Structure 1
Amino acid sequence: MAAIELANASWRDAGEAITRGAWAVLPVGALEQHGYHLPLTVDTDLATGVARGIADALGALLLPAIAYGDAWNNSGFLGTISLKPDTLRAIVLDIGRELKRMGVPVLVTLNGHFGNKEPISLAARALESEGLKVIHLDYPGLEALAAKICDSQPAGPGFFHADEVETSMMLALRPDSVRMEKAVAEYPTFPPTFGIEPMQLSEFNQSGVFGDPCPSTADKGRRLIDGIVAACLAQIEAYRIRHRL
Structure 2
Amino acid sequence: MYLADEAWPDLESYFESESLALVPLGSTEQHGPHLPEGTDHIIAEAFARRAAEETGYLCTPTITVGVSPHHRQFHGTMSVTAPVFRDYVESLTRSLAEHGIDRVIYVNAHGGNVEHLREVGRRLRDAEVMYAIEWMWDESITDRIQEVFETPGPHGGPKETSLIQYLAGELVHEDRIEDARDGGLREFDESSGRVHGARTFYDAIDNTDNGVLGDQTDASAAVGEELFEAALDQLCQLCEWLAAQPFEDLMPNEHL
TM-score range, shorter chain: 0.7 to 0.9
SS at match of 1:116: helix
Give the structure-2-normalised TM-score. 0.84
Preserved contact between residue 29 and residue 71 of structure 2 (Cα < 8 Å): yes
Alignment partner for residue 194 of structure 2, among 192, 195, 216?
192
* Cα root mean square deviation, aligned: 2.2
* 1:195/1:95 CA distance change after superposition, 3 Å: farther
User: Is 1:170 matched with 2:168?
Assistant: no
* 1:122/1:195 CA distance change after superposition, 3 Å: farther
User: Is 1:154 matched with 2:152?
Assistant: yes
User: Is 1:114 matched with 2:111?
Assistant: yes
Per mean C-alpha deviation after superposition, the further-off stretch among 117-126 and 18-27 is 18-27
Aligned to 1:131: 129
Distance in 1, Cα, partners of 2:58 & 2:187? 40
Aligned to 2:49: 52
Preserved contact between residue 29 and residue 76 of structure 2 (Cα < 8 Å): yes
User: Is 1:216 matched with 2:214?
Assistant: no
Query: Displacement, 1:240?
Result: 4.8
SS at match of 2:104: strand
Give the structure-1-normalised TM-score. 0.87
Alignment partner for residue 42 of structure 1, among 28, 39, 42?
39
| Counterpart code for 1:213 | Q
| Counterpart code for 1:209 | V
| Counterpart code for 1:214 | T
Q: What's the % identity of the aligned pairs? A: 24
Query: Displacement, 1:43?
Result: 0.5
Which structure has greater helix proportion?
Answer: 2
Unaligned runs of 5+ in 2: 250-256
Q: How many residues align?
A: 237
* 1:147/1:188 CA distance change after superposition, 3 Å: closer
Unaligned runs of 5+ in 1: none
Specify the structure having the higher radius of gyration (Cα).
2
Query: Deviating runs (4+, > 3 A) in structure 1?
Result: 193-198, 233-245
